[in-house]
C-alpha cells in the first residue's frame, strides 16, 4: 500500500481545506496517510480553536469570498474532510510537540479528537523518508 506524508504547516482556512481535500483523495485511493501538524497549523487543532480560523494564507482580502464560495458549493469543512478520511483508511494525525506547546497544548486532551498522538520532529523526518508521496502544506 502506498504511503503519503503531509507536513501541515499553515493554519489558514484555505490551506486546512486544501489539505483535507488532498488527504481525502489519498484515503479514497486507499493510501496510508500520516499528517504531521507543525507550527501555525497546530493552533487549529487545539480544542476551542477550530472555529477561530479566519484567515487566508494569501490574499486575505478574499477571505469572505472564499468562505461564501465554500458554503455555496456545500464543501465540507476541513475537519469533516479529515474525519471522512480517517473512516476510509489508515490516516493518522500527529501534533509536533513544540508546535502544540506554542499554542498551549501539551497533552492529548488539549487537542481535538482528530489527533492521534504528539511526537517530535524526528518522527516526521522518518515518515517523510519512507513516504511514496510527501507534501508540505
CATH number at residue 109: 3.40.1260.10
Structure pTM?
A: 0.93
Amino acid 78: pLDDT: 95
| Helix, strand, or coil (residue 104) | coil
The tens digit of pLDDT for each residue in 4-43 reads 999 999 999 999 999 999 999 999 999 999 999 999 999 9
Taking the CA atoms of 135, 12, 23 and 124 in sequence, report the sign of the dihedral they define.
positive
Residues 53, 13: Cα–Cα separation, whole Å: 6
More confident residue, 26 or 67: 26
Q: Which domain holds residue 104?
A: 3-136
Amino acid 55: pLDDT: 75
What average pLDDT does the chain have?
94
| Domain count for the chain | 1
- Binned at pLDDT 50, 70 and 90, residue 47 comes out as very high
The tens digit of pLDDT for each residue in 76-122 reads 999 999 999 999 999 999 999 999 999 999 999 999 999 999 999 99
Q: Residue 35: which of 56, 15, 13 has the closest Cα?
A: 15
Amino acid at each position: 500500500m502506498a504511503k503519503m506524508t503531509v507536513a501541515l504547516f499553515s493554519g489558514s482556512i484555505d490551506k486546512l481545506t486544501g489539505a483535507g481535500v488532498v488527504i481525502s483523495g489519498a484515503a479514497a485511493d486507499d493510501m496510508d496517510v500520516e499528517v504531521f501538524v507543525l507550527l501555525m497549523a497546530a493552533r487549529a487543532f487545539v480544542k476551542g480553536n477550530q472555529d477561530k480560523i479566519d484567515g487566508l494564507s494569501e490574499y486575505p482580502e478574499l477571505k469572505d469570498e472564499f468562505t461564501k464560495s465554500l458554503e455555496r458549493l456545500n464543501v465540507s469543512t476541513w475537519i469533516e474532510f479529515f474525519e471522512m478520511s480517517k473512516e476510509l483508511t489508515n490516516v493518522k494525525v500527529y501534533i509536533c510537540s513544540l508546535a502544540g506547546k506554542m499554542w498551549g497544548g501539551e497533552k492529548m486532551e488539549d487537542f481535538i479528537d482528530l489527533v492521534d498522538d504528539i511526537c517530535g520532529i524526528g518522527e516526521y523526518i522518518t515518515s517523510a523518508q519512507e513516504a511514496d508521496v510527501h507534501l508540505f502544506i
